[in-house]
Amino acid sequence: MFEKFFFRKECLRKRCDMDLRNETEKISAYLRSFFKQNHYDSVGLYYPIKNKIDIRPVLLELQIEGAIKTLALPRILNDDMTFAPWQFGQCLSPDQYGIPAPLTSELVYPQCLLIPCVAIDLDGYRLGYGGGWYDRILSGQHFDLTIGVVPACFVCRALAHETYDRALSGWVCENGFTWVVKPSCG
């Protein structure tokens, strides 16, 4: 457990010093191509804080173009993470942890989930931010596809993981997609 704590801290320190514009541009292009070819009615994403890759612009474009019907952002209320519908121009309000989230009480259960990663290993196990939110939601809900979003320099051979950790279907970085479990068409 201490190993994960210190590795997370080191990765976050390194990422904080990075300019991720190039990585963001390339990842966005891969996401655009993927969702143009593979249709999912609902896609869950994240609000970018702490120098996370910002995938909102490309997903909003895909929604406007009709390639994605519903986008959903997470929100944490009463120590529970759920997803709420989100679209361009919609007002957001800080959730329980101060992260911007939709104000609506409507819930969305995304088919495809794009998950921020501090790091990820070759088996699809991600190192998150330490709250366990995604581990709990992945354990309690079914998603057709779970994709980590991470710069390539944070893809590791192996990460320590606990019994409650869930491997993702794959990840996308500036070098493209890597699948642990091949996706079926959305």
pLDDT, tens digit, for every residue of 41-57? 999 999 998 889 999 99
End-to-end CA distance of the chain: 36
Segment 145-155 shows an average pLDDT of 97
Backbone torsions φ then ψ of 75, nearest 5 degrees: -145, 145
Report the candidate in 13, 14, 94, 67 with the shortest Cα–Cα distance to residue 186: 67
pLDDT, tens digit, for every residue of 94-132? 998 899 999 888 999 999 999 999 999 999 999 998 888
Q: What is the largest CA-CA distance in the chain?
A: 45
What is the CB neighbour count within 10 angstroms for residue 26? 18
What is the CB neighbour count within 10 angstroms for residue 19? 8
